[in-house]
Structure 1
């Protein structure tokens, strides 16, 4: 078990407006996810929702390569609520929701959504164990901020969309230990989006 946890990476995965917001002031996310429907290559998202994306060629390759790396996902209660629990099954594998209390009606039978109420480090450990050596995708602004502040994040995988929201939920709002230098990015240009992947340099 310890060996599996040690080789699992944690990768923050978020779509963000050019001015740094992951949702508008009403928690709307449609603008930052427009790139998922900007092309003509169909990609199945998986999970209970069975959504089909229509991506540009560069974005389709980017998305498929990313998802193939992931074995589990860790997110917060807010993202869980906005996504309506992903219909009970997340497409990236087992999902661990960091929360103070388990929502009413959950956990559900035959669901891959789990709830962690004893802190971030426990959530990371559980997600890494479930990922079985693959990476853990970290989703949600607050959860990503917590991971960065705790030194528990290995990579930032940010999809910068061609929109300015002006206000809303910022991805990098409450950071500690800054300035924090990142490694050189991998850059992929898609339709209406630029995919950036930065290694996090641990201090």
Structure 2
């Protein structure tokens, strides 16, 4: 059965982006933490250079993914991934479809009918695989609605001090998590928690 999985890189003090929505610091480990190359996606693949433990973690995780769910802000910051996300069809939760979209030959879809509809469409597109979730606000909404199954968080060896926090607006807290699995990379620690349902 398809799971909805939050996948985010985060500083040790809980920030996923700086005050200007910059993610270079929390994403640096993807490109500077080792010599092992990992490509994810198809024609528009991303190339990472990481340590062997991180490479194994990324390969295991991305092999599970069939679609992506994200918010409008993440879509904008990522420039729409050039029209095609490397992890599969992307579903963008938004109040209005942005000008110039949808585009021909793009696998980016816009959902204006709410969170549950976005989850349903992403799961359908994932065809039995898991749905990756990007964006702090979208992850918080899913946690508050009880629709998130798992949290995969990559803790970068970094203190940002300010910016966008991953778990800032939780109306349903406390939220119980299962015991973590831990993979220690270079410059990053990969944590995976199941979200326990009440």
TM-score, normalization: structure 2? 0.97
Contact map agreement 2:88 2:107 (CA 8 A) in 1: yes
RMSD value, Cα: 1.0
2:26 aligned partner: 32
What are the superposed Cα offsets for residues 74-131 of structure 1, whole Å, 9 maximum, x if unpaired? 0000110111000110010000000000111011111110000010000000000000
What stretches of structure 1 move > 6 A for 4+ residues in a row? none
2 CA distance for matches of 1:174 and 1:48?
Answer: 36
SS of match in other structure, 2:23: coil
Q: Where does 1:64-75 land on structure 2 (aligned, <5 Å)? A: 64-75=59-70
Residue 9 of structure 2 corresponds to residue 15 of structure 1: yes
1 CA distance for matches of 2:16 and 2:43?
Answer: 23
Residue 89 of structure 2 corresponds to residue 94 of structure 1: yes
Q: Where does 1:46-57 land on structure 2 (aligned, <5 Å)? A: 46=41, 49-57=44-52
Contact map agreement 2:13 2:159 (CA 8 A) in 1: yes
Residue number among 175, 179, 182 corresponding to 2:177 in the alignment: 182
1:128 aligned partner: 123
Residue number among 54, 60, 67 corresponding to 2:55 in the alignment: 60
SS of match in other structure, 2:97: coil
2 CA distance for matches of 1:185 and 1:117?
Answer: 34
2 CA distance for matches of 1:14 and 1:51?
Answer: 16
1 CA distance for matches of 2:161 and 2:71?
Answer: 24
2:106 aligned partner: 111
SS of match in other structure, 2:28: helix
